[in-house]
């Protein structure tokens, strides 16, 4: 394994960058600004008041060459004083973001440094870091989708597969919040005057769950249900939190339309509904253009890239949904992400940095 200096990764992991900790997220972002400006990148800042700022690092553009967008996120899932710090042994890096995804950002940064050292300059390669990926990219996905149109390919630096697979497919996901408003009444004296929101919610739960099609890779889950006042009162209100996941574009379209329709068809007279939420991330499916990218990168690194599809989502869903050939999983292999056992393999860092350096060298031709 080539020697890797993990000092900068240690500094990054020492900063708590929980999504809701704007100060911490921006502090990590400021570290990245220093490191990226040393490589000659210009910076576009998408300032935000409630969450961390999104950062786009830009290199000069040669109009006759394809442009590549690297993607990462600054935030982690760990609130302050829950899981912090950096540890290592001979084989592993341990700590928050080791593989998800301060480790992935470090792979991209180190590969860019290699290209800068080799060529003296970098062009046609930009690096987008968003601040809210772990909570669904509700804000940044609008930025990412619009920016993606400017590139011919996108690489995301979430963790690699166990055998260093890259990700060529991810489920899409939608989250809905349904509020039901009924009419309260005494369950003994005025039963028929009530309009039971709980009953409507129960009927709706069944109807929504039946939209699942396991064979097609589609699931609809009512993950939370709440309502009512007490046993002797017809429920005047109820609420549902619903998640849908899908692996096919036609299923995404079917399910989203069906959820909206079902919300109004619970069958309890006098109960009204309000639907909030919607699509978080488009489904990411293998495409011919993506396969061409896989074949190209395999040629560049000297051996075929292994691929896999995952049920979880990332910002790769967003760029793929925008029609840009996208691959994910270019970070190091690790496990325990989203837990206090998160770690990343040191040998995997070495492999990924070598591979990504070769890929960036290809896109940097002509600079």
Residue 331's nearest CA partner among 17, 82, 9, 48 is 9
Is 267 exposed, middle or buried (CB count within 10 Å of its CB: 0-12, 13-18, 19+)? exposed
Is 89 exposed, middle or buried (CB count within 10 Å of its CB: 0-12, 13-18, 19+)? exposed
What is the Cα–Cα distance from 67 to 281, expressed in whole angstroms?
23
pLDDT at 316: 97
Along the 367 residues of the chain, how does pLDDT read in single tens digits?
Answer: 568 999 999 999 999 999 999 999 999 999 999 999 999 999 999 999 999 999 999 999 987 889 999 999 999 999 999 999 999 999 999 999 999 999 999 999 999 999 999 999 999 999 999 999 999 999 999 999 999 999 999 999 999 999 999 999 999 999 999 999 999 999 999 999 999 999 999 999 999 999 999 999 999 999 999 999 999 999 999 999 999 999 999 999 999 999 999 998 999 999 999 999 999 999 999 999 999 999 999 999 999 999 999 988 999 999 999 999 999 999 999 999 999 999 999 999 999 999 999 999 999 988 8
90-105 residue pLDDT tens: 999 999 999 999 999 9
Tell me if 29 sits within 8 A of 56, measured CB to CB.
no
What count of other Cβ atoms lies within 10 Å of the Cβ of residue 294? 18
What is the Cα–Cα distance from 128 to 71, expressed in whole angstroms?
5
What is the set of domains in the chain, with CATH numbers? 7-170+284-363 (3.40.630.10), 172-281 (3.30.70.360)
- ∠ Cα 290 328 221 (to 5°): 100
278 — alpha (psi -120 to 50), left (phi > 0) or beta? left
Q: Is the pTM of this model over 0.85?
A: yes
E strands of 1-152, at which residues?
42-46, 54-58, 68-73, 87-88, 92-94, 125-130
What is the Cα–Cα distance from 264 to 287, expressed in whole angstroms?
36
**Token digits of residue 113:** 């440094």
pLDDT at 117: 96
**Token digits of residue 146:** 């619009």
């Amino acid at each position: 394994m080539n020697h890797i200096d993990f000092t900068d990764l240690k500094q990054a992991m020492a900063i708590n960058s929980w999504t809701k900790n704007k100060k911490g997220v921006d502090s990590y972002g400021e570290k990245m600004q220093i490191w990226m400006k040393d490589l000659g990148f210009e910076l576009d800042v998408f300032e935000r008041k409630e969450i961390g700022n999104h950062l786009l690092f830009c290199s000069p553009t040669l109009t006759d060459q394809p442009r590549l967008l690297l993607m990462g996120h600054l935030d982690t899932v760990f609130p302050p004083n829950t899981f912090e710090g950096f540890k290592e042994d001979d084989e592993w890096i341990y700590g928050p973001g080791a593989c998800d995804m301060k480790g992935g950002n470090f792979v991209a940064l180190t590969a860019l440094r290699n290209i800068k050292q080799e060529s003296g300059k970098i062009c046609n390669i930009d690096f987008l870091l968003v601040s809210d990926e772990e909570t669904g990219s509700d804000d940044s996905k609008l930025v990412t989708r619009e920016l993606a149109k400017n590139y011919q390919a996108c690489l995301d630096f979430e963790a690699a597969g166990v055998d260093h697979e890259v990700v060529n497919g991810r489920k899409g996901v939608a989250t809905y919040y349904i509020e039901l408003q009924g009419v309260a009444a005494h369950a003994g004296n005025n039963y028929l005057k009530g309009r039971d929101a709980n009953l409507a919610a129960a009927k709706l739960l069944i109807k929504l769950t039946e939209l699942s099609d396991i064979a097609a890779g589609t699931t609809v889950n009512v993950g939370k249900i709440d309502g009512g006042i007490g046993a002797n009162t017809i429920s005047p209100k109820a609420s549902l939190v619903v998640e849908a996941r899908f692996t096919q574009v036609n299923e995404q379209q079917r399910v989203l339309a069906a959820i909206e329709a079902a919300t109004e068809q619970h069958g309890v007279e006098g109960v009204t509904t309000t639907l909030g939420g919607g699509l978080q991330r488009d489904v990411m499916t293998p495409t011919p253009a993506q396969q061409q990218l896989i074949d190209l990168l395999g040629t560049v690194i000297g051996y075929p890239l292994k691929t896999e599809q995952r049920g979880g989502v990332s910002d790769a869903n967003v760029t793929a949904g925008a029609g840009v050939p996208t691959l994910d999983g270019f970070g190091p292999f690790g496990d325990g992400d989203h837990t206090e056992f998160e770690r990343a393999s040191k040998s995997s860092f070495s492999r990924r940095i070598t591979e990504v350096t070769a890929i960036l060298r290809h896109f940097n031709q002509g600079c």
